[in-house]
Structure 1
Amino acid sequence: MTNYSAADLRLNYTRGGLLESEAGDDPFALFQTWFTQAIEAELPEPNAMTLTTVTPGGRPSARMVLLKGFDGASFVFYTNYTSEKGEHLAANPWAALVFWWAALERQVRIEGAVERVSGAESDEYFHSRPVGSRLGAWASPQSQVVRDRTHLETRLQALEAEYRDRPIPRPPHWGGFRVIPDRIEFWQGRPSRLHDRLRYQRQEDGSWQRDRLAP
């Protein structure tokens, strides 16, 4: 096996730039443009994002989740409320999101407060999911220690039999979280490490202040 040095891995970013004249004043509009371009570029799972939460003791914890909705005010994902991240957000309702679209040499960082989406919104999304995913939400005690994989598969089989001829309700412990950002930063790779970084910060009147940051 060849031993590679992480320090020797380098890439000169040359795909594009991000100027204020192109970015506009609304970070959600810019995110929509970038997200659409990531989909059109056929990137694998363009809605994949790193979610960082903080434990009650102040220790950060990060994992990948999938964005399932956004509008002009928030970003939404779904999970088990009794999972590790769910418990973190119940104790400390703030989070950070990071999108990394490597093929486009782009990163988006999002920080803000978190709240649960309404039960009706969670119901609507839950019932749009494939049957297997709906049953999986019942079968998996997310983030809890389980004996082995057979335990999960046996539980799933029992649920398949239980709900074979009737609707699958949304588990009361499963639903959505909404991240309401007060800071969004767009990063575009540029040559010689002089990357473009535009940061939007929400002001008290609801408008956004845009600043360029040094790379």
Structure 2
Amino acid sequence: MKSSEAIYREALAQLQRLIEQATAQGVEEAHAAALATADRYAHPSVRMVYIVAVEEAGLLFFANTESGKGQQLIDNPRASLCFFWRELQEQVTLEGDVIRQSVETSDNYWRKRPRETQLAAWVLPQGTPAPEKGESRRQVRQLEQALGFEPVPRSPNWCAFRLQPERIEFWPSGWPRMRERVRYLKQADGLWSEALLSP
């Protein structure tokens, strides 16, 4: 009989394999997932995000804390994710609590971002009114000249978040729908269980 830890690790490993398979087959945005959040009044919203890492601690992604999703994650730190790879006829859904990560984690991944993306994060805060045409490019060039060869510091609003799964469900989408659907669930006692579901 598999232990709770083994069941959870198995689920994460299967998710990682699907991402790698999608990447190997040339699927665009293989690391992208729909992130569903809700505000303090339970008004839902959903958008695509890039999942930076699938780790035992959870799934890592980033958000501007002043954006809609950032505010919702702070006010109501629970979310769902849905990966869908049409080419593989596979989808995976997850849900759980979302934990804002340390400054060190945010800094570490900020340094890996392309310089142009870093500059844009300063010039174009997510969700704010767009500047006049051409103004954003001018501001990016201005900031780049001011920094010279210095690294672009992390915007204080650009933060790492981690979804800690409590449910992971593999739901193949091929037709006819006779493929195996599997749900991994963290129960009230903290132990993980695995169950086959009707497609």
Settle same-fold status: TM greater than 0.5. Answer: yes
Residues in 1 aligned to 2:41 and 2:173: alpha-carbon distance in whole angstroms: 35
In structure 1, give the amino acid aligned to 2:121.
A
Post-superposition Cα deviations, 1:131-180, rounded to whole Å, max 9, x if no partner, equal 10111111111111234343322321221111123221111111111000
CA contact (8 A) 2:53 2:59 kept: yes
Structure 1 equivalent of residue 142 of structure 2: 158
Structure 2 equivalent of residue 56 of structure 1: 40
Structure 1 equivalent of residue 80 of structure 2: 96
Structure 1 equivalent of residue 51 of structure 2: 67
Structure 2 equivalent of residue 187 of structure 1: 171
1:68–1:161 Cα change, 3 Å: same
Q: What SS is found at the alignment partner of 1:188?
A: coil
Question: With structure 1 as the length reference, what TM-score do the two structures score?
Answer: 0.83
Runs of 4+, deviation exceeding 3 Å: 204-207
Post-superposition Cα deviations, 1:109-151, rounded to whole Å, max 9, x if no partner, equal 0101001111111111111111101111111111112343433
Post-superposition Cα deviations, 1:25-73, rounded to whole Å, max 9, x if no partner, equal 3211211222221122221110011111102221110111101112113
CA contact (8 A) 1:189 1:196 kept: no
Residues in 2 aligned to 1:155 and 1:56: alpha-carbon distance in whole angstroms: 35
Structure 2 equivalent of residue 116 of structure 1: 100
In structure 2, give the amino acid aligned to 1:86.
G
Judge which range, 97-106 or 190-199, deviates more. 190-199
Q: What SS is found at the alignment partner of 2:176?
A: helix
CA contact (8 A) 2:51 2:61 kept: yes
1:163–1:198 Cα change, 3 Å: same
Structure 2 equivalent of residue 198 of structure 1: 182
Q: What SS is found at the alignment partner of 2:171?
A: strand
Q: What SS is found at the alignment partner of 1:193?
A: coil
Post-superposition Cα deviations, 1:75-99, rounded to whole Å, max 9, x if no partner, equal 0111211111000111100111110
Residues in 2 aligned to 1:176 and 1:183: alpha-carbon distance in whole angstroms: 21
Residues in 2 aligned to 1:53 and 1:189: alpha-carbon distance in whole angstroms: 24
Structure 1 equivalent of residue 3 of structure 2: none
Judge which range, 116-125 or 163-172, deviates more. 163-172
CA contact (8 A) 2:124 2:130 kept: no
Q: What SS is found at the alignment partner of 2:109?
A: helix
2:11 is equivalent to residue 27 of structure 1? yes
Judge which range, 73-82 or 141-150, deviates more. 141-150
RMSD: 1.7
2:73 is equivalent to residue 76 of structure 1? no
| 1:193, distance to aligned residue in structure 2 (A) | 2.6
1:206–1:39 Cα change, 3 Å: farther
Structure 2 equivalent of residue 214 of structure 1: 198
- Identity value in percent: 36
Judge which range, 109-118 or 204-213, deviates more. 204-213
Residues in 2 aligned to 1:147 and 1:39: alpha-carbon distance in whole angstroms: 35
